[in-house]
Amino acid sequence: MKFFVDTADIDMIRDLSEKGMVDGVTTNPSIIAKSGRDFIEVLTEICSIVAGPVSAEVTATRADAMISEGRKLAAVASNITVKVPLTWDGLKACRALTGDGHMVNVTLCFSANQALLAAKAGATFVSPFVGRIDDMGYDGMELIAEIRQIYDNYPALETEILVASVRTADHVKQAALIGADVVTVPPKTLQGLAGHPLTDAGLAAFLADWEKSGQSIG
Ligand code: G3P
């Protein structure tokens, strides 16, 4: 399963990349606004650090304008993935932009039928938002399992399932168990995956015993 980081925080992207944990990056208008930086400038910087897909979202709502914005964003770097919302206009823009040879991530997916439409439109990725479904009192991971089953039923559908709105370590684990292609994870959640109290306690005991032995490797 590929790990994308859901952020425009350059220091975090660099740090996690050095650890080999960043196969790609996702952004959205809220993340860019939070960064306080110029959209194109921050995208250019992210693409200079990360070789994998970097999602950049259009903000137009009509297909023609989305296509035009998508082409501008795609010109920033060859690894830009244009992100469009799961609306009929977004699906039309998806078809046109993939026709140009660009990668497209169809976002704001909340149902299996929407995911089926994204795949039919030739999306490179579809982004179901599990955390926001959980927020409504349903189980977001059930949607991932449904999409996985549907896509597996029709191998001609090549769209990758990119699990988004990930909030917890359990989301990451469940996505991997189901066989999602990608999870996009906020840096803090990704950093939390390595932590375990038994790892800390075990390491402390090993180091204490080593100290008592009086030996040194170096
Ligand atoms: O990847 C989509 C993500 O940024 C949305 O996350 O936590 O705002 O639902 P959240």
pLDDT digits (tens, 9 = 90+) for 14-49: 999 999 999 999 999 999 999 999 999 999 999 999
DSSP string, the chain: -EEEEE---HHHHHHHHHTT--SEEE--HHHHHHHTS-HHHHHHHHHHH--S-EEEE----SHHHHHHHHHHHHTS-TTEEEEEESSHHHHHHHHHHHHTT-EEEEEEE-SHHHHHHHHHTT-SEEEEBHHHHHHTTS-HHHHHHHHHHHHHH-TT--PEEEEBS--SHHHHHHHHHHT-SEEEE-HHHHHHTT--HHHHHHHHHHHHHHHHHT----
**From ligand 1's centre to the CA of 59, what distance in Å?**
16
Rounded to whole angstroms, the Cα distance separating 186 from 62 reads: 29
Task: Write out the two tokens for 67.
Answer: 């296509």
Pairing relationship of beta strands 54-57 and 24-26 according to DSSP bridges = parallel
Q: Report if pTM > 0.85.
A: yes
Task: Write out the two tokens for 20.
Answer: 């080999």
pLDDT digits (tens, 9 = 90+) for 142-161: 999 999 999 999 999 999 99
Percent of the chain with pLDDT over 90: 100
Percent of the chain with pLDDT over 70: 100
Domain 2-213 has CATH 3.30.450.20: no
Dihedral class, residue 214 (left if φ above 0, else alpha if ψ from -120 to 50, else beta): left
Rounded to whole angstroms, the Cα distance separating 69 from 106 reads: 15
Average pLDDT, the chain: 97
**From ligand 1's centre to the CA of 154, what distance in Å?**
28
Q: pLDDT band at residue 218, thresholds of 50, 70 and 90?
A: confident
Domain ranges of the chain: 2-213
Residue 120 burial class via C-beta count within 10 angstroms: exposed 0-12, middle 13-18, buried 19 and up? middle
Name the residue of 134, 165, 182, 183 whose CB sits within 8 Å of the most ligand 1 atoms, as the mutation to test its pocket.
165
The residue whose CA is least distant from atom 8 of ligand 1 is: 165
Q: Ligand 1, residue 164: give the atom nearest the CA.
A: 1
